[in-house]
Amino acid sequence: MKNINFIDLADQYQAYKTDVDQAIADVLNSGQFILGNEVKTFEQELSSFVGVAHTIGCANGTDALQLALMAIDIQPGDEVITSVFSFFAAAEVIALLGAIPVFVDVDEKTYNIDADKIAEKITSKTKAIVPVSLYGQTADMDKINAIAAQSGQQIYIIEDAAQSLGATYHGKQSGNLSTLATTSFFPSKPLGCYGDGGAVFSQDEALATKIRSLHRHGETKRYEHQYVGINSRLDAIQAAILRIKLQHFPEEIQQRQIAADRYQQLLQSDNMVLPYIAENCTSVYAQYSIRVPDRERVITELKQHDIPTAVHYPKPIHLQPCFAHLGYKPGDFPIAETTAEEIMSLPMSAFITAEQQQYIAEHLLKVVS
């Protein structure tokens, strides 16, 4: 059996190597490295995959979130509601813009923002909600959209789809479930490039036009700056690589789901909690995350058998030192806090083999029993 990697990026490259190498060479020969045709074509292809009118490529998924918040004119002192248990980026860009991240606990089964706990956090200062679609499954977007609509004020929803691109919610694609959505092409994401990359999605033409300007210094035409923007562009080389990966993406999603089903069958045990996928939803399993008691021991013992694991994420965001001034304390978000103590992710990719999964399951079951 070959070595188990947490994510098999090298195997993926080998599978598409001829096409990827050619695409990179074509960009090098074209002399067009920033924006240009590759980026434009990729944006169009991704728009049709997601089902949105507009995709704007940018430098990474964090910038994509920042651009989305800038597009809706988030100002210092505004409040933006987001999940307390997630990757740091959403809370980070909210704070960077001088706005206040307002945290909500997560659902104990999906680990996504608990939609039932959002309404109580809405104030007259609330301008947006950023639900993060964690581990490859979307948040409960219909419910979240309805809460915003019922609030009687203008509240934008921005789905952070960095981990869920390719997942579906009631038949619709992640990224097409709210006014704005963002994603990341960081190499380990379900649709990754070979460096940094990201995108913003929208059906709204005015917002899309503004984001197209904001991501290039707020220019509306060359050297005419309508806004104070940022410099955040998708490289042509990354777009060319992404165009190839996008062709294989539906098949890779299927392979990831097959791998997840296999874990599901292999890992039946009273001593761990397996992923839960909500009704009418599919996951792309950006992570295959389970909960176990005594996690550190489990991780150590698996490592002794050359099984790599990861923890997404060991500390909920309200307890991060940089947000101490917000005044949250341990116990404020009990589900997030317990999850952070028990969660761990197993190796997952479209290229993991049944043999590798059997080996992982065998050792994992032994360790937790």
Ligand X SMILES: *Cc1c(COP(=O)(O)O)cnc(C)c1O
Nearest-CA neighbor of 182 among 90, 76, 114, 316?
90
Interaction between residue 126 and ligand X (CB under 6 A): no
Interaction between residue 137 and ligand X (CB under 6 A): no
The least CB distance from residue 33 to ligand X, in Å, is 19
Residue 182, beta-bridge partner list: 160, 200
Interaction between residue 349 and ligand X (CB under 6 A): no
Dist. CA 140–CA 281, nearest whole Å: 9
Choose one: 58-66, 108-116, 276-284, 315-323; the region binding ligand X (CB under 6 A): 58-66
Estimate to the nearest angstrom the gap between the alpha carbon of 112 and the chain centroid.
12
Dist. CA 320–CA 325, nearest whole Å: 10
Nearest-CA neighbor of 89 among 192, 183, 202, 203?
183
What separation in angstroms does the CA of 173 have from each of 201, 221, 325, 328? 11, 33, 37, 34
Look up tokens 């955040």; give the residue.
232
User: Measured from the CB atom, is 196 or 252 closer to ligand X?
Assistant: 196
Contact partners, residue 163, CB within 8 Å, separation at least 6: 87, 132, 133, 134, 135, 136, 189, 190, 284, 286, 287
Choose one: 68-76, 160-168, 243-251, 264-272; the region binding ligand X (CB under 6 A): 160-168
Instruction: Tell me which of 162, 193, 242, 260 binds ligand X, using CB under 6 A.
Output: 162
Dist. CA 315–CA 17, nearest whole Å: 38
Dist. CA 344–CA 59, nearest whole Å: 29
Alpha-carbon dihedral sign for residues 61, 67, 69, 72: negative
Tell me the per-residue interface mask from 82 to 121 with ligand X, x by CB under 6 A, - otherwise: ----xx-x--------------------------------
User: Measured from the CB atom, is 60 or 282 closer to ligand X?
Assistant: 60
Instruction: Tell me which of 12, 66, 82, 163 binds ligand X, using CB under 6 A.
Output: 163
Choose one: 70-78, 158-166, 258-266, 277-285; the region binding ligand X (CB under 6 A): 158-166
Interaction between residue 285 and ligand X (CB under 6 A): no
Stretch 181-240 residues interacting with ligand X (CB under 6 A): 184, 186, 196, 198
Interaction between residue 316 and ligand X (CB under 6 A): no
Nearest residue by C-beta to ligand X?
A: 61
Dist. CA 350–CA 23, nearest whole Å: 22
Nearest-CA neighbor of 364 among 277, 284, 273?
273
Interaction between residue 159 and ligand X (CB under 6 A): no
Instruction: Tell me which of 8, 78, 160, 337 binds ligand X, using CB under 6 A.
Output: 160
The least CB distance from residue 305 to ligand X, in Å, is 28
Instruction: Tell me which of 12, 47, 55, 62 binds ligand X, using CB under 6 A.
Output: 62
The least CB distance from residue 159 to ligand X, in Å, is 10
Tell me the per-residue interface mask from 7 to 46 with ligand X, x by CB under 6 A, - otherwise: ----------------------------------------
Nearest-CA neighbor of 248 among 7, 6, 20?
20
User: Measured from the CB atom, is 165 or 260 closer to ligand X?
Assistant: 165
Burial of 280 (0-12, 13-18, 19+ CB in 10 A): exposed
Instruction: Tell me which of 8, 58, 61, 356 binds ligand X, using CB under 6 A.
Output: 61
Residues engaged in binding ligand X (CB under 6 A): 60-62, 86-87, 89, 132, 160, 162-163, 184, 186, 196, 198
